[in-house]
Amino acid sequence: MYYVYIIQSINNQDQTYVGCTEDITKRLSNHNSGTTPHTAKFKPWKLVVYIAFEDKIKAYDFEAFLKSGSGREFKKRRLL
């Protein structure tokens, strides 16, 4: 399974991050330990939403959509 996830900074709740992974528990741990440079400055993070996909391409396409302009609006209106 492939997971598209949204995490939110606990200390700065207007900061969110969208990603894709096969191991969501390990990935969240990486974000919270500071080993992911893009998210290190806003740690700790909490998992807000995750969506499971069987197909890797569909998962990465949905992640790309959530990072687009209309995807960010969708995320704000429907997922957060």
* pLDDT one-digit tens code per residue, 13-44: 999 999 999 999 999 999 999 999 999 999 99
Check: pTM over 0.85? Answer yes or no: yes
Domain presence at residue 34: yes
Domain presence at residue 76: no
Q: What is the mean pLDDT of residues 57-64?
A: 98
Domain presence at residue 44: yes
Domain presence at residue 3: yes
Alpha-carbon torsion 68, 73, 75, 76, what sign?
Answer: positive
Owning domain of residue 43:
1-55
- CA–CA separation, 26 vs 14, rounded Å? 23
Domain presence at residue 16: yes
Domain presence at residue 72: no
Domain count across the chain: 1
Look over the chain and give the mean of its residue pLDDT values, rounded to a whole number: 97
Domain presence at residue 51: yes
Q: For residues 47 and 15, is the Cβ–Cβ distance under 8 A?
A: no
Per the listing, tokens 């209106």 go with 77
Domain presence at residue 22: yes
